[in-house]
Every structure is written in C-alpha cells, then in structure tokens.
Amino acid sequence: MSCLHLMVVLPVRQHLSRLPTIDPNTRTLLLCGYPNVGKSSFINKVVDTQGIMDHPLEERNTIEMQAITALAHLRSAVLYVMDVSERCGQTLEHQHELFNIQPLFANKPLLIVANKCDVKKICDLTEEDQKIFADLTAKGIPVIETSALTEEGVIMVKTENIVI
C-alpha cells in the first residue's frame, strides 16, 4: 500500500474507531426525514439517544452508506418524519422522495410521522398532497399526525404497535 493510500485510510480508520459499537440484538429506531421537519424535536419527546438520517442516498458518502447498511441488519423500526406544513423548505413531494431508502429497510416495521400538525393538518392539504399520505396508508403503512411542539399525536406514535 502506498503512502498516499495510508494517508487516506488512517484518518478513516481513526474516525471509525471512535464510533460507538453496534449491537445487532439491541432494538433500534431509525428516524428519517429532511432537515427541519422536526426529527430532533420529535425524538426529544420520545427517546434519549439520537441518530438522524436526513438526506438522500445519492448524497451520502461511503462511511454513511456503510452505517446505513449496518442499520439495515439491526432489529429496528423506521420512523419517517415529514413536515406537513412544508416550513422545512421542502415540498411534501420532495420529502416523499427521501422515502427511496425504504427498500433498504423492507423487512422493518415502518411508520410515517406527519409532523407539525399544529400548523397544518393532512385534511387541509391539496388533493395531490393528501394523495401522498393516502397512497402510503393504502400500502399498509401507518400515518400518524403529530406536533412535537404541542405533543399532539406523540403518545400515539409511542404506543403504535410496532414490533421490533
């Protein structure tokens, strides 16, 4: 191996050695969604430990892809958070595109968290945007409207029968 290769590999190795170990038998919750949809606010209401996936697969680097691959092998459920109000700066259609990670977790329980319902509810959306959620529901994917701000729906998510 050349010196140039070592200069690249050593920092990556050091970075990986600082990452926490992953126990594949520990139940894990994967929280996905674009920036500013309310993932951190929501998770702060629900659990103590965080980990966030917030950008499309094609924008991920090698280390992030390795982490996602490792997560796919954990006992986990996936919460996909969407900002119904679109105040995050992304349209619902664009937020739904991040859902392309779903095939990686095809064998995992999945729940859509339609966040920021204190600002806008699904029933107040255009027919086209309502169809996004109707199609998910038709596929058997539960959709729960929440507000991390007011805590509306948070208990429903916590008690949703997701078997990990």
Tens digits of residue pLDDT in 107-141:
888 899 999 999 999 999 999 999 999 999 999 99
| Contact criterion met (CB below 8 Å) for 101 and 57 | yes
Q: Which domains does the chain have, with CATH numbers?
A: 6-159 (3.40.50.300)
DSSP string, 136-152: HHHTT--EEE--TTT-T
Q: What is the pTM of this model?
A: 0.65
pLDDT of residue 119: 97
93/38 Cα distance (integer angstroms): 17
Residue with tokens 């199609």: 135
Q: Give me the mean pLDDT over the 134-157 stretch.
A: 92
pLDDT of residue 91: 94
92/119 Cα distance (integer angstroms): 14
Helix (H, G, I), strand (E, B), or coil: what is residue 80? strand
pLDDT of residue 33: 82
Give the tokens for residue 22.
Answer: 């992953």
| Contact criterion met (CB below 8 Å) for 146 and 85 | no
Q: Give me the mean pLDDT over the 18-36 stretch.
A: 72
